[in-house]
């Protein structure tokens, strides 16, 4: 019998599949999936190459079949990934993850086949498809697929790339996750005792109010990664080499082409965003100077970025964090609050702080049961609370799309970060409005500005690093020492004089998972994009209050069927290719600097 309470910080995966990877239900599901893939291969092989009125139904049936299979592949893979995230030593789950990656490659080849057929259709034939209401509901995805396919290689070559990527390209990503998940280091706790902690656990120490603890954590992270840095450099170079070779074959000159496609945005919008950020970043200087005084520090170092100041009188347990988030979401939308309460009560969140978990956090969907699961390691701080609110925002976004056709649930990476950041803003501002306690308000303002520092500087440094690294990688392997030099230079450009000249993190390129994700190249700028975009949404929410809750849901539902610029124009009436929008979002964010400085005295 399951006796866990609603506040248990471990997730319940039983509604997905009972037991582990060896469970009969999971084994049967995977067997059924292979049968579905084999059947679809036969169907696509006999599908008429030219779409006509007489075979339109057959085309629609195949597309619906591929939607179901895609949902099933994701369902199974997410389950295995949840198991490996919660226990990096679960070898059965790791093997299942590898096997499912092979299944995904088969599915990717089926989709590549459909893309190739779609790309070959004349416009008048293609239009026939959309007499079907279900096809009309996913028209944006299908049109997008057809256009992108016309810029790819012939079917046989793209299929071969998909097959080779499973054990090669994506294998480097799995190797990195295994590497980082298995790292351990000695750490001296508050009692003076030495204990062995994982990379994820030590990373959480970077949010400690004690500067000596943060410094010890920073040094421990560097110590544990020093012997692994050569391997990390090989991994990063190999992934980048694969990407660049593929782009060259496709005739893609810009290394930003794929991430811009995945983000459904224009380069003009990205440049407008970073242009506004670069011009406004110095406005954070008074915040940093005030914070240094509060910390009693004459220098602001890398490990001070998440240093908390101020404090709450409440004990920030996981239970408290959940209640806090739910109560403050309710001020905007009772529906959002009720959803988060349900997710917590049904144990959709894995948050326990224990060895053996991978670092980082994410939210993943299980379409077959219309549920999500959140993975994180909760630390009893407002950083931990903010992360929980962030991931619950992702979960809410998926929930609003649960009844859409599968292809219409695929939203862009940059917009994905909008709902999560919007959640954080609602929680922080509601708490500020309710509190008249000096230390609590100081802490909340600091948390908001810590976010601003991260998205305006830390993420920008990652973006600048990727640009420079990929530019050099075109000419050959980039050494470990050069990777570190590129990283320091990127941090200098992004932070300006906010960090001390000795305060940079030269091994950040090795320690940050996002550089090694093969499913999402350049997974850095989507965070800043989503952060600023969500502030634009939040401006509308502040202006209209709870009346905007339905409009917000409508915006989220459209994320699977619009590009970023059209979404912003329809729901916010703004042009993302102009700096005006990004500047106004930054103005809204940076107004907290004066409030913080004044409160800090």
Q: What is the mean pLDDT of each run of 10 residues along the chain (601 residues)?
A: 60 95 95 97 94 96 97 96 93 93 91 94 96 95 95 90 87 88 88 88 89 95 95 96 95 95 96 97 97 95 94 84 92 95 97 88 92 94 87 96 95 89 88 87 93 96 97 96 98 96 96 91 92 92 91 95 96 96 95 96 84
Domains and CATH numbers, the chain: 24-167 (1.20.140.70)
Distance CA 339, CA 226 (A): 43
CA-to-CA distance for 167 and 165, rounded, in angstroms? 6
Q: Residue 186: what are its φ and ψ, rounded to 5°?
A: -75, 140
**pLDDT for residue 6:** 52
Alpha helices by DSSP H, 120-228: 123-128, 133-137, 139-149, 155-167, 169-181, 199-204, 211-225
pTM over 0.85: yes
Greatest Cα-to-Cα distance within the chain, rounded to the nearest angstrom: 77
Burial 467-499 (b: 16+ CB within 10 A, else e): bbbbebbeeeebebeebbebbbebbeebbeebb
Q: Residue 362 pairs with which residues in a beta bridge?
A: 375
Q: In whole angstroms, what is the distance from residue 558 CA to residue 593 CA? A: 34
**Number of C-beta neighbours around residue 35 at 10 A:** 10
Residue 94 φ then ψ, to 5°: -60, -40
């Amino acid at each position: 019998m399951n006796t866990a309470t609603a506040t248990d910080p471990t997730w319940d995966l039983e509604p997905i599949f009972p037991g582990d990877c060896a469970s009969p239900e999971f084994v049967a599901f995977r067997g059924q999936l292979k049968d579905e893939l084999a059947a679809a291969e036969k169907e696509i092989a006999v599908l008429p190459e030219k779409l006509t009125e007489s075979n339109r139904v057959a085309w629609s049936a195949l597309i619906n079949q591929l939607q179901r299979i895609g949902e099933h592949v994701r369902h199974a893979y997410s389950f295995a990934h949840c198991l490996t995230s919660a226990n990096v030593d679960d070898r059965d789950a790791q093997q299942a993850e590898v096997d499912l990656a092979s299944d995904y490659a088969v599915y990717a080849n089926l989709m590549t086949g459909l893309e190739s057929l779609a790309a070959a259709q004349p416009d008048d034939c293609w239009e026939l498809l959309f007499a079907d209401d279900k096809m009309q509901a996913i028209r944006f995805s299908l049109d997008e697929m057809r256009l992108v396919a016309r810029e790819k290689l012939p079917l046989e070559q793209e299929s071969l790339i998909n097959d080779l990527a499973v054990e090669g390209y994506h294998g480097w990503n799995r190797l990195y996750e295994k590497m980082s998940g298995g790292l351990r280091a000695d750490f001296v706790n508050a009692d003076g005792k030495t204990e062995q902690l994982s990379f994820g656990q030590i990373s959480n120490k970077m949010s400690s109010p004690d500067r000596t603890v943060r410094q010890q954590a920073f040094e421990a992270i560097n110590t544990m990664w020093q012997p692994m840095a050569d391997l990390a450099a090989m991994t990063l170079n190999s992934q980048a080499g694969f990407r660049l070779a593929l782009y060259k074959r496709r005739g893609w000159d810009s290394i930003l082409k794929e991430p811009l496609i995945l983000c459904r945005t224009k380069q003009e919008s990205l440049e407008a965003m970073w242009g506004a950020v670069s011009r406004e970043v110095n406005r954070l200087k008074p915040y940093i100077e005030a914070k240094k005084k509060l910390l009693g520090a004459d220098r602001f170092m890398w490990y001070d970025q998440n240093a908390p100041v101020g404090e709450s009188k409440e004990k920030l347990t996981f239970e408290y964090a959940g209640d806090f988030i739910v109560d403050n979401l309710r001020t905007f939308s009772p529906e959002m609050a009720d959803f988060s309460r349900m997710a917590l009560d049904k144990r959709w969140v894995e948050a326990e702080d224990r060895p053996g978990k991978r670092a980082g956090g994410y939210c993943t969907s299980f379409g077959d049961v219309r549920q999500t699961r959140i993975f994180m390691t909760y630390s009893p701080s407002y950083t931990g609370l903010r992360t929980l609110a962030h991931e619950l925002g992702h979960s809410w976004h998926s929930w609003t799309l649960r009844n859409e056709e599968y292809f219409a649930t695929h939203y862009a990476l940059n917009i994905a970060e909008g709902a999560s950041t919007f959640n954080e803003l609602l929680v922080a501002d509601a708490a500020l409005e309710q509190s008249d306690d000096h230390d609590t308000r100081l802490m909340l303002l600091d948390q908001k500005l810590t976010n601003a520092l991260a998205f305006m500087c830390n993420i920008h440094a990652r973006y600048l690093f990727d640009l420079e690294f990929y530019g050099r990688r075109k000419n050959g392997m980039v050494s470990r020492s050069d990777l570190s030099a590129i990283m320091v230079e990127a941090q200098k450009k992004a932070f300006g004089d906010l960090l001390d000249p000795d305060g940079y993190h030269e091994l950040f390129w090795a320690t940050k998972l996002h550089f090694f994700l093969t499913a999402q190249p350049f997974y850095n700028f989507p965070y800043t994009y989503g952060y600023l975009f969500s502030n634009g949404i939040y401006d509308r929410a502040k202006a209209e209050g709870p009346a905007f809750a339905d409009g917000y849901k409508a915006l989220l539902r459209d994320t699977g069927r619009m590009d970023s610029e059209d979404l912003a124009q329809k729901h916010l009436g703004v042009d993302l290719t102009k700096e005006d929008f990004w500047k106004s979002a930054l103005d809204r964010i940076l107004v907290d600097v004066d409030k913080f400085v004044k409160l800090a005295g």
